[in-house]
Amino acid sequence: MLLVHGFPEFWYSWRYQLKEFSSHYRVVAVDQRGYGDSDKPSSVYDYRLPMLVNDLKELIIALDYKKCVLVGHDWGGIVAWAFAQTVPDMVEHLIVMNAPSPHAFLNHASNSLSQLKKSWYFFFFQVPYIPELIISLLDFDFLSNAFTGKTMGVRSGSVTEDDVEAYKFTFQRNGLTAPINFYRGLVRYPDFAFSRLQSLQSKVMCPTLIIWGCKDGALEKELAALSTEMVAGEDVRLHYVTNGSEDKPLLLLVHGFPEFWYSWRYQLKEFHDNYSISQHIIIFRIGCKKCTVVGHDWGGIIAWAFAQTTPDMVERLIILNCPSSAAYVKHCSNGLSQLKKSWYITLFQVPWIPELFLSTEDYAALTNSFTARPMGVRSGAMTENDVEAYKYTFQRNGFTAPLNYYRALLRYPQFAFIRLQSPQLRVTCPTLIIWGCNDAALDKELAALSAETVEGDVTVKYIEECSHWTQMDRPEDVNKYMREFLEKTEKKTML
């Protein structure tokens, strides 16, 4: 974990984080060039943003690491943004505190007179010598006010007189010219920060956390949201269907491939008296803190991962014909049977061809997957009108986005095939696994193997003569097992 300070600071600003995270990380708080005990080149040219970025790169390499969790505040945040944009392979996670991306700052400042007023010191710092003189007057009174005064100062009382003396001693010993040259370099050599970093090709690719103190006297709160535009990945609008009153417990149904909400039509009808039933929804947006998650096929993959990584939001987990990541990897490594059944995952990596194959002859492949052997529904519960509903949906929306689930799984395997198999990410909530025994895509053994990956109470129910499409093929059995499980676990919760 690499901590990068801002102005006017040095490594000491991270004293609380050095203590907090040392048990889980090797925490390094660096003095940036020009600060503390680091070298202080004399030329403004040496404080251009690319050189500051390169300092971090060389430091990570010198520490014998390939990646880091990068944390930056103020000027350290500006450098952290630039580093994550230009050296993405070396940043595992990015955390930025009260520092906008250069792109966000330029866009906001050009439209906000109030932000320009708050940024007056940028212009003042371009003057030679005078800023250094003013900041050091009256025993560095300017510096003291920056940390303790009303407009900019720390409000919690956590900066003591001894802390202020530490900063004053450091800058009294080392001077202020080098730190102020950060600002001079940004304005005199702006191409990197305000041209290159604004290109669409330079978005931040890693998971990013932006923490913003809302009483910042130098930066407006709006810059936090604007900075998210430089992080890859956009807000995605999710469509969902709901049934049942909002004051009831939430039952979240997540479908698989090639499906949509309609696959849960029997469960929407069955459970609406007892639950608020929704699917593909951001839980917080409907005012719930917890839910029972039900996932089938790809929805099951997501449900497993959600229960592992967000356990506080999952009260119970119900899985239909979908193995946990650890169970799938273990089973595939021990035999060819499942690998042969998973042939389509390899096919789906090819561009365009799968889309063409699935849509030819009036979506014959889609129709066969639901109605023909070996994959199709066996009970006759899938009518022609049901099939037409699926054909209409994919005819209107296409197959590329659903197929991209499989493409992303193999192109970015770290989460599914490495992180989710960590012993620290076990499912701890009560879990029900329902398995149709005639699934042509998944071996029956995966149900029991998946149960072994659950740390909490787990129940496995097998349904004979049932295809992969469990909740549609045998809705009565599925609804029965779900209701028994929900009632049983509710009683335990009440006890």
Q: What is the pLDDT of residues 142-167, one digit of tens each?
A: 888 889 888 888 877 788 999 999 99
Q: What is the mean pLDDT of residues 75-80?
A: 96
Tell me, yes or no, if 406 is annotated catalytic. Answer: yes
Tell me, yes or no, if 16 is annotated catalytic. Answer: no
Q: What is the mean pLDDT of residues 361-378?
A: 93
Q: Of 170, 197, 229, which residue is a domain's last? A: 229
Residue 118 shares a structural domain with residue 264: no
> 110 vs 136, which has greater pLDDT?
136
Look at residue 491 and tell me whether its pLDDT is greater than 80. Answer: no
Residue 223 shares a structural domain with residue 79: yes
Residue 351 shares a structural domain with residue 412: yes
Q: What is the mean pLDDT of residues 441-460?
A: 96
Residue 149 shares a structural domain with residue 260: no
Residue 20 shares a structural domain with residue 107: yes
Residue 77 shares a structural domain with residue 94: yes
Q: Of 207, 229, 251, which residue is a domain's last? A: 229
Residue 246 shares a structural domain with residue 109: no
Look at residue 203 and tell me whether its pLDDT is greater than 90. Answer: no
Residue 327 shares a structural domain with residue 452: yes
Active site residue: 468, 473, 477, 481, which one?
A: 468
Residue 73 shares a structural domain with residue 96: yes
Counting the structural domains of the chain, the total is 2
Q: Of 203, 229, 255, which residue is a domain's last? A: 229
Active site residue: 73, 406, 439, 473, which one?
A: 406
- β-partners of residue 204 are 231
Residue 101 shares a structural domain with residue 193: yes
Active site residue: 31, 55, 297, 477, which one?
A: 297
Look at residue 25 and tell me whether its pLDDT is greater than 90. Answer: yes
Residue 216 shares a structural domain with residue 242: no
- Residue-range definition of the domain harbouring residue 66: 2-229
Q: Say which CATH number the domain at 24 has.
A: 3.40.50.1820
Look at residue 282 and tell me whether its pLDDT is greater than 60. Answer: no
Residue 171 shares a structural domain with residue 289: no
Q: Is the pTM of this model over 0.85?
A: no
